[in-house]
Structure 1
């Protein structure tokens, strides 16, 4: 098997048949062995019913239904696990990713790249709820990951299968696959793709997802910088805590030695408590760093 298409589906009954027709037309023209894996994220409309009928008529199709609505990242992870192709292409099932762009993604892989990431250069989304938040998020993702991409958010990407074996997905991390893969030396390129408007159904994206992405940006920043050296992160915090706490307690000790009759708790009670907490926090950070070093080895 040379090519696997992974498509997460959630309540896309109006898009499934047009998507299938256009997708198979493109794939047949490529003259490569292929398979299409639809991951139904427990749709509540007729999506699974339509997919069940299609899979009986086309041996290239495979349908996986999740037991509950786990979200897009989990659906993609399930599809990657089932994929048998040497090249895996992920795309959405709402027809906002044009199957006709698949040859351009494959051409970039043929140039020697490990990941071809789609770039919605001319987006047709709402400027307030989609374009502006997306532009900010993409800028933050690029700075946090060190990977120079214009569009992290799109699912439409082509991967060499061996690249995906090193990437473990959770949360909303599917959009960070290029960054995670680059950590292992993968070469990433960007390919302009179409971004047609959604013709049916409702978008599953909105401002609420932007906040979840912000938390994932912090996660990815930590993973990429300190995954193999956690002591550098926790040790630095521990050093600050120990230095400040030790300085405070040292000051209080010197004052007690110089003025025996002074009740330090009356004069510096909050300061002593703060110093003790900083010392304990510093020791805990050092311990966490050491445990992290043991775990990664």
Structure 2
């Protein structure tokens, strides 16, 4: 079968566009990938896939739906396979061998995505796919690298979700310097070449805007108010314990944003500060002993100064080792100290969905 015959089976001409659709027609040529990680959400699969197709039914550019099953223990995989068979090859299923958690599932979807624009979306239908075209349009028209969803009217519990989320959002924005009102919204539109230059680990999906700020300027990161619905199926996989994990992750994010290429400054600065305090204490103890003839052997301040000095030396040595490891890491080619903005590339001959 030739490439043209394959394309004719998966790409069809769009209908005559309305005024709103004409606005989308004026966007730069691009291809869109919608990435949805799912875990034990079999009931959500069919309505989620249907809702995505409704939201993109008149989208004038080729698009695909990449759904990642994060090692579900229920019938989610079977439901995903049935949906892919029903809707066509533009619905692609990525099956992870076990449950690697949401960040790894999202990274797997981003790796599999072929679009010039990548949109991430939760599979629980709390975010509405109808917002996707508007977010993509803003991303491309304003030449941004990220448009994050802002759930301005959240349909969650006040005490367990809203208030902790607001506190966390303000704390993250203050520490990272990326001013967003809602870090936790999964609905985000990315420039594909930029999000693929960032690797996500652990549970860092909450800090994607901050990680993105390590390769692009915060001026190219913005947000858009989106719809938010009450949960229809299943239950939330997050509890109040998430607050403590967020705090620990935030410390890591701050370190990598500020000191990834110069860890010696972080450890060395702490070491010099603590060591200076210890040295000052020991000098004071020496003055008391040598000049005033006082007995200092039993004074707690002497032990404090000694241990502070030792701790300072350890921090400085740790900084030297961290600096050496960082140089080896960057010089080995495993990572870059900078990113060059690549021009957009189009015209890939793969199966895509166009409006029917």
Determine the structure 2 residue equivalent to 1:169.
200
1:273 aligns with 2:303: yes
Which residue of structure 2 aligns with residue 214 of structure 1?
Answer: 247
1:7 aligns with 2:40: no
1:64 paired with 2:94, answer: yes
Q: Say whether 1:155 aligns with 2:186.
A: yes
Shift of residue 122 of structure 1? 0.9
SS of residue matched to 2:241:
helix
- Once the two structures are TM-superposed, the CA of residue 258 in structure 1 deviates from its matched residue by 4.3
Q: Is the 8 A contact 1:117 1:156 kept in 2?
A: yes
Q: Corresponding residue for 1:74?
A: 104
The answer to whether the Cα contact below 8 Å between 1:108 and 1:189 also exists between their aligned partners in 2 is: no
Residues 12-27 of structure 1 correspond to what in structure 2 (within 5 A)? 12-27=41-56
Give 1:16-55 correspondences, 5 Å limit.
Answer: 16-55=45-84
- Is 137-146 or 30-39 further displaced after alignment? 30-39
Q: Which has the higher helix share?
A: 1
- 1:251-262 equivalent positions in 2, closer than 5 A: 251-258=284-291
For structure 2, the residue ranges without an aligned partner over 5 or more in a row are 1-29, 328-356
Equivalence for 1:87: 117
Residue in structure 1 matched with residue 257 of structure 2 by the alignment: 224
1:138 match: 169
Q: Deviations over 1:134-173 (max 9, x none)?
A: 1111111111111111100011001011111332212321
1:195 and 2:228 correspond = yes
Give me the TM-score of the superposition, normalised by structure 1. Answer: 0.92
Q: Deviations over 1:77-121 (max 9, x none)?
A: 111111111111100001111111101111111121110100111
Q: What secondary structure is seen at the aligned counterpart in 2 of 1:22?
A: helix
SS class of match (1:30): coil
Higher relative contact order (CA closer than 8 Å, sequence separation 6+): 2
Q: Which residue number in structure 2 is paired with residue 239 of structure 1?
A: 272
Q: Are the aligned partners of 2:45 and 2:123 in contact in 1 as well (CA < 8 Å)?
A: yes
5+ residue gaps, structure 1? none
**SS of residue matched to 1:32:** coil
2:314 is the counterpart of 1:287: no
Q: Distance in 1 between matches of 2:320 and 2:157?
A: 48
After TM superposition, the score normalised by the length of structure 2 is 0.77
Counterpart contact for 1:152–1:176, Cα < 8 Å? yes
